[in-house]
Amino acid sequence: MKTKTILLLIVFSLGLWPVAASAETSIKSSDGVKAVLKTDPAKMMIDLFLSEPGGKEITDAKVTASVTFPDGRKVKKDLIGMKMGEAYSFMNSLDMSRPGRYSFDIAIKSSGKSIKFEFTQTIP
């Protein structure tokens, strides 16, 4: 046990332990809708929070995300609406383990209108 502890201390002190990419947040507005995209590569999660001009959460939407990975590969994900704690978001899992630029083209259909957002985030 003592040897394990010493080895872990050496690994951390020399900076040899892989550093997890931190969560990132981007905010955009369009047609009176505010979109907050939160990505957390360590948890392999993307969350999209939508609200109206007065701050009321949008919960009745169909949301899809077309994601372009750093290597150019694309994937389309439905973002599922769910209330977690006090907040309602549209979420899904996403492997963001590769460093580089990720592009998110978000399509939202709610209350008879369609809105699109484009986000870009870079994972170091």
Query: Is 51 part of a structural domain of the chain?
Result: yes
Element (H, E) at 3: helix 2-13
Largest separation between any pair of C-alpha atoms in the chain = 63
pLDDT of the residue at 109: 94
Percent of the chain with pLDDT over 90: 65
The pTM (predicted TM-score) of the whole model is 0.79
**Would you say 63 and 78 are in contact if contact means Cβ atoms under 8 Å apart?**
yes
What backbone phi and psi angles, to 5 degrees, belong to 112?
A: 80, 5
- Give the total number of structural domains in the chain: 1
Convert the pLDDT of each residue in 18-49 to its tens digit: 445 567 899 999 988 999 999 998 889 999 99
Q: Is the pLDDT score of 14 beyond 50?
A: no
Query: Is 88 part of a structural domain of the chain?
Result: yes
Convert the pLDDT of each residue in 67-116 to its tens digit: 999 999 999 999 999 998 889 999 999 999 999 999 999 999 988 889 99
| CATH number for the domain that contains residue 105 | 2.60.40.3340
- Provide the residue range defining the domain that includes 45: 21-123
Query: Is 52 part of a structural domain of the chain?
Result: yes
pLDDT of the residue at 7: 44
Query: Is 69 part of a structural domain of the chain?
Result: yes
Query: Is 106 part of a structural domain of the chain?
Result: yes
